[in-house]
Amino acid sequence: MAHADAAVVGNSETRPKPPPIPLSEIALTGIYEISKILNAPNRLETTLSNVLNVLSSFLQMRHGVISLLADDDVPDITVGIGWNEGTDERYKARLPETAIGQIVATAVPLVAEDVATHPLFTTDATALGADGDVRVSFIGVPIRIGAKVVGTLTIDRVWDGHSVFRLDTDVRFLTMIANLIGQTVQLHRVVSRDRDRLMAESYRLQKELSELKPARERKKVLIKGIVGDSPALRSLLEKITIVAKSNSTVLLRGESGTGKELIAKAIHELSPRAKGPFVKINCAALPESVLESELFGHEKGAFTGAINARKGRFELADKGTLFLDEIGEISPAFQAKLLRVLQEQEFERVGGNHTIKVDVRVVTATNRNLEEAVSRKEFRADLYYRISVVPMLMPPLRDRRSDIPQLAGEFLRRFNGENDRTLTFDARAMEVLMGCGFPGNVRELENCVQRTATLAHGPSIVMDDFACRRNECLSAMLWKGQSEIAPQRLRPAIPLPVLPAAAAIGASAPPAHQPVEDSAPVYAGAGAAPANRGEIPDRERFIEAMEKSGWVQAKAARMLGLTPRQIGYALKKHGIEIKHL
């Protein structure tokens, strides 16, 4: 028995240690972790800083810096571990200019085992922390978009006697990371250019809207199927006639039941695409897997039950208009797929690998506060910019109460035609409708008229025919709880970093007696206050430069011929809040 115990102890003492993890496996894990960071929808500087944070856990390094170049090869973005706004200069101080210049010019990695003795670091060795007792090594690799070098990824470390083989391994690893960074930078730049184009288009349309003639000179706009003559509705219809002429993406915002689908169809019918198809889909009504097939189509055998190939809504809407209702309800994963289609107007069917090109104008709608969803990272900011080129707010029925008699009369006429009746409204009956809140807006008014007409006993609808006269109207209780908060439903939770110079068309519908000030910036949420006209003109010049540069201070400084320090001072002086896009 003693021998057996001894044997067990001996086995545990002589058990071989597990082999070290191969460097190739460590590198693969590092690439996987970094690819996840690069796919996250964050600001580019934040993403690159997070990459360096992860990189430091896979490589022996003291500091890491990613520097991206502008079109004139001047450093545009410089980030390091723990980057935050205003720290660019601190990281630029760690960039050896001569060595970086060689990496950019030759597009070849650079390795220096000891920067103190390397000819390219004659004036920069001290900045990297090298002195008599500390030997510092340096590795720098180019970041490319195609064949063009757009930046560098560099690290430095205290030399610990590692072999040249280890340095070569690190160079290969960093080169792979730099290639992934290059793809991400390219995507960000494409999105940025696309956003700038969309903002310019939105600004042009807003300028057209602001130049509308005074109300007394305007010709009344009539659109088939849209009933009413209230100031709020007339203002909306005038905007529709202008917006319909372009191909810009429109975002219809407003409460449920305000007629967003009807307005979307009107935009289509007044546009040059009127002879093309008008296709609609409710994004909230379908699960993500079904929605993808519905929008993009599928190939035969793509999934169980796909016995034939089928075209999606994008293909069916080619040369026409696609209306995406409840756009705010789609999942973050599907938002990325939709963004690509909206930007490139191309996609593949589910289960297919053939790229299909389409020409589709997209109109979207939501009753959600998308700005708040963006701030909570529930909705992608890049998709928000893409769909919100021309945001238009649908006025609720409480803001167009003078339209109630016309709407009620139209709904009763339809009911009579469908049911072979000749009902009319008693004079007192219309007083009941004018006194109702209708939290469900036009849709609820239509339901009320149809329900009351169905149960009416005489040739006319009278006061006592309405459910609210008998305390049987559930909507009356709903209205009581919502009447005070409903006007705030679309108010954003934060100041919005969206569009310049009143570019958010129709974002806030002012009362008829309150004219819109043409030069006042308007944010995309209802109720946002216009800028103070009393402020000095220089402030507007700084804001314009910041917006054109995507709120990157270094870019704005170059545009204005200033240093980053000067523009930072000016922004503080004028109280301009930095927007993080």
Measure the CA angle with vertex 230, ends 229 and 231; round to 5°.
120
Is 504 among the domain residues?
A: no
pLDDT at 125: 62
Task: Indicate the residue among 487, 520, 554 that finishes a domain.
Answer: 487
DSSP 3-state of 77:
strand
- The whole-angstrom separation of Cα 503 and Cα 361 is 19
pLDDT at 300: 81
For residue 264, the domain's CATH number is: 3.40.50.300
Strands 75-80 and 390-393: unpaired
Is 456 among the domain residues?
A: yes
Range of 267's domain? 212-395
For residue 446, the domain's CATH number is: 1.10.8.60
Is 302 among the domain residues?
A: yes
Tokens of 379: 């909705």
Task: Confirm if 353 and 298 have CB atoms less than 8 A apart.
Answer: no
Whether residues 149 and 241 fall in one domain:
no
Whether residues 225 and 263 fall in one domain:
yes
Whether residues 257 and 388 fall in one domain:
yes
pLDDT at 130: 62
- The whole-angstrom separation of Cα 154 and Cα 159 is 15
- The whole-angstrom separation of Cα 228 and Cα 338 is 35
Is 566 among the domain residues?
A: yes
pLDDT at 210: 62
pLDDT at 88: 63
Whether residues 177 and 244 fall in one domain:
no
Is 492 among the domain residues?
A: no
Measure the CA angle with vertex 93, ends 87 and 95; round to 5°.
115
Q: How distant, in Å, are the alpha carbons of 287, 379, 398, 491, 497 from that of 368?
A: 19, 11, 19, 10, 18
Whether residues 406 and 390 fall in one domain:
no
Whether residues 177 and 95 fall in one domain:
yes
Is 505 among the domain residues?
A: no
pLDDT at 474: 67
Strands 321-325 and 278-282: parallel
Whether residues 289 and 368 fall in one domain:
yes
Q: Which of 73, 77, 62 is nearest to 107 (CA)?
A: 73
Alpha helices by DSSP H, listed for 402-552, are 404-419, 427-434, 441-455, 474-482, 537-548
Q: What is the DSSP letter of 72?
A: T
Whether residues 62 and 175 fall in one domain:
yes
Whether residues 376 and 481 fall in one domain:
no
Residue type at position 520: A
For residue 48, the domain's CATH number is: 3.30.450.40
Is 368 among the domain residues?
A: yes
- The whole-angstrom separation of Cα 161 and Cα 150 is 32
Task: Indicate the residue among 471, 487, 503 that finishes a domain.
Answer: 487
pLDDT at 476: 63
pLDDT at 359: 93
Is 99 among the domain residues?
A: yes
Task: Confirm if 310 and 298 have CB atoms less than 8 A apart.
Answer: yes
For each successive 10 residues of the chain (581 residues), what is the average pLDDT? Answer: 44 51 66 81 82 83 84 72 67 77 88 82 66 78 89 83 66 89 84 71 66 52 79 88 89 90 92 93 86 87 76 92 92 86 87 88 92 87 87 90 91 92 89 84 91 90 86 66 44 35 31 32 30 46 78 76 73 73 53
Q: Which residues of 151-172 are buried (b: 16+ CB within 10 A; e: fewer)?
A: bbbbbbbebeeeeeeebebbbe
- The whole-angstrom separation of Cα 431 and Cα 481 is 22
Strands 355-357 and 361-366: unpaired
pLDDT at 267: 93
Q: Report how many domains make up the chain.
A: 4
Whether residues 293 and 343 fall in one domain:
yes
For the CA atoms of 400, 402, 406, 411, the dihedral, rounded to the nearest 10 degrees, stands at: 50
Whether residues 361 and 415 fall in one domain:
no
Whether residues 261 and 328 fall in one domain:
yes
Task: Indicate the residue among 370, 395, 420 that finishes a domain.
Answer: 395
